[in-house]
Structure 1
Amino acid sequence: MNVLEVKGVKKKLGKKQIIKGVSFEVEEGEIFGFLGPNGAGKTTTIRMLVGLIKPDEGIIKIAGHDIQKDRENALANLGAVVENPELYGYLSGRENLMQIARVRKLKKQNVDEVIELIGLHDRIDDKVKKYSLGMKQRLGLGAALLGEPKLMILDEPTNGLDPSGILDFREIVKKAAKERGMSVFVSSHILSEVQHLCDRVAFINGGEIKSVESVSEDGMATEKETMVVATTEDNKALDVVKSFDFVHTANINDGQIIVSIKSGYSPKLVEELVKSNVGIVEVYKRHKGLEQRYMELVEGGVR
């Protein structure tokens, strides 16, 4: 099931076309990254997703509800955390959450569950003005989680956090997605963070989606893999490798053979090299990182 559907969305600000027909979807329980440089259209897209501005064309659905035709039900399934959560500093963390729960007519049990999830039970009764930035971000996430939304939108959620705070925030988001089946849409400029957090990522530039791809902590899931092969006879090995039908390209670089092959064919590469009596010293996969893919799609090539 798609919790978020964006189809053919366009938006002008003044005379400038900011969003030029954006389409993507986010599945139930998926953590979906949204990457692009400043001015690419990320903020405008997010403002449309949370109902702050309307698209000129296209459809946005949250949990099956059209945000323009059925705004109340669409937004009822949405939670959001922006860069600096709005919190009452003179109240405790618990009092902040209870205020929100009262307005939304939620049970105290919801508040207790959220406190446990965000890991603030030891400090929840302290005044928020005494909280670190990381604690405020966790409390802001907790506030957004209170209504058990089906979709959570995070806009630069780890800005200003130290490494420990980033790790804590990441684990809370992953836990919420897994335990609650909640979908997460996260916009961030920290590429390593997106790679560690997200299942898929959309690359946006110039108001257009350049690609939507799967991602893992090891790198990007693509149709090609890059293998590095060290042998005792590089020139012979290169000729042999180039004869394989699953090899796209092969060349020698710094005493190693760099081979681009079809995804999933790395065992076959080793098997065929052994059959050809090539003396193998070392073979390993070079993982394509999110940073490299970002530069290819958004910046026009690796710097």
Structure 2
Amino acid sequence: MKVLEVKNVKKKLGKKEIIKGISFSVEEGEIFGFLGPNGAGKTTTIRMLVGLIAPNEGTIQILGHDIQKDREKALANLGAVVENPELYGYLSGRENLMQIARIRKVPKEEVEEIIKLIGLENRIGDKVKKYSLGMKQRLGLGAALLGNPKLMILDEPTNGLDPSGILDFREIVKNAAKERGMSVFVSSHILSEVQHLCDRVAFINGGEIKSVEMVNEDGVATQKDTMVIVTTDDDKAVEVMKELEAIHSVNIYDGEVVVSIDKGNSPKLVQELVAKNIEIIEIYRKHKGLEQRYMELVEGGVR
């Protein structure tokens, strides 16, 4: 089920077109990354997703409700942590959550569940002005989770956090998505954070989405494998490989043959080389990291 669906959305600020017809969707329970450099259009997109500004063209739907035509129902399913959470420093963490819970008619039992989920049981009675940045980010996430939204929007959620805070925040988001079946949309320019957190990622630059791709712990899950091969006769190996249909490119770098091949065809490649009496000294798959893919799509090539 599509929890968020964005179709051909465009946005002008003054005469300048900031968002140039973007389309994507987020599935139920999915953690979806929105990755791009500063000025790419990430913040403008998020402001449209949470209803702060309206698109000039296109539609945004949350659980099938158009955010322009059926705003109340669409936003009822939405939680968001945009930049620094707005919290009352003179109140305790629990009092902050209870204020929001009363407005949203959320029972106290759910507030206590949220406190456990965000790991603030030992400090929830302290005034928020005594909280570290990481604790404030956790509390802001807890506030957004009240009411059990089906979609969570996070804008640069780990900005300013130390490595320990980033790890904690990441686990909280993953657990919330898993336990509550919640979809998460994460906007960031931090490549490692997106790679460790997200299931899919959209690469945006210049107001356009360049690609939407699957992500795993090794990098981008593409339809091609990059294989590195060392043989006793690299020149002959290259000639053989260029004749194979599954091969997209073959190059020699620093005494190694680097091959782009359709996923699942590596065994056939080995069989062909052996059949041509080419001795293979070493062969391994080179994982395509998110950084490399980012440079290809956003920066126009690998540096």
Paired residue for 2:241? 241
Paired residue for 1:229? 229
Overall identity of the aligned pairs, in %: 81
TM-score normalised per structure 2:
0.96
Deviation, 1:196, is: 0.9
Q: C-alpha distance in 1, partners of 2:101/2:274?
A: 65
Paired residue for 1:94? 94
Q: How does 1:64-103 map to 2 (within 5 A)?
A: 64-103=64-103
Paired residue for 1:105? 105
Q: C-alpha distance in 2, partners of 1:137/1:298?
A: 29
Kindly provide the amino acid, as one letter, of the partner of residue 269 in structure 2: L
Deviation, 1:12, is: 1.1
Paired residue for 1:210? 210
**After superposition, what is the alpha-carbon deviation per residue over 1:108-165, rounded to whole angstroms, capped at 9, x for unaligned?**
1111111111111122222212211111111111110011000000000000111111
Matched, 1:7 2:7: yes
Q: C-alpha distance in 2, partners of 1:43/1:59?
A: 17
Kindly provide the amino acid, as one letter, of the partner of residue 183 in structure 2: S
**Gap regions ≥5 residues in structure 1:** none
Paired residue for 1:219? 219
Deviation, 1:233, is: 2.9
Matched, 1:142 2:137: no
Deviation, 1:287, is: 1.1
Kindly provide the amino acid, as one letter, of the partner of residue 217 in structure 1: E
Paired residue for 2:21? 21
Q: C-alpha distance in 2, partners of 1:269/1:112?
A: 57
**Gap regions ≥5 residues in structure 2:** none
Deviation, 1:100, is: 0.9
Q: C-alpha distance in 2, partners of 1:146/1:86?
A: 15
Q: How does 1:1-303 map to 2 (within 5 A)?
A: 1-303=1-303
Deviation, 1:241, is: 2.5
TM-score normalised per structure 1:
0.96
Kindly provide the amino acid, as one letter, of the partner of residue 84 in structure 1: N
Q: C-alpha distance in 1, partners of 2:123/2:264?
A: 48
SS of match in other structure, 2:96: helix
CA gap 1:174/1:267 in 2 versus in 1, 3 angstroms: farther
**After superposition, what is the alpha-carbon deviation per residue over 1:16-69, rounded to whole angstroms, capped at 9, x for unaligned?**
111111111111111111112222211111101000011111111111111111
SS of match in other structure, 2:213: strand
Q: C-alpha distance in 1, partners of 2:137/2:270?
A: 48
SS of match in other structure, 2:302: coil
Kindly provide the amino acid, as one letter, of the partner of residue 302 in structure 1: V
Deviation, 1:232, is: 2.8
Deviation, 1:91, is: 1.6
Q: RMSD over aligned Cα, in angstroms?
A: 1.3
Q: In terms of mean alpha carbon deviation, does 244-253 or 190-199 score higher?
A: 244-253
Kindly provide the amino acid, as one letter, of the partner of residue 203 in structure 2: F
Q: C-alpha distance in 1, partners of 2:7/2:268?
A: 41
Deviation, 1:225, is: 1.5
SS of match in other structure, 2:29: coil
Deviation, 1:272, is: 3.1
Q: C-alpha distance in 1, partners of 2:59/2:109?
A: 36
SS of match in other structure, 1:249: strand
**After superposition, what is the alpha-carbon deviation per residue over 1:211-262, rounded to whole angstroms, capped at 9, x for unaligned?**
1111111111222221001123323332333332211121221111111101
Q: C-alpha distance in 2, partners of 1:132/1:277?
A: 64
**Paired positions, count:** 303
CA gap 1:267/1:126 in 2 versus in 1, 3 angstroms: farther
The structure 1 segments of at least 4 consecutive aligned residues displaced by more than 4 Å after TM superposition are none
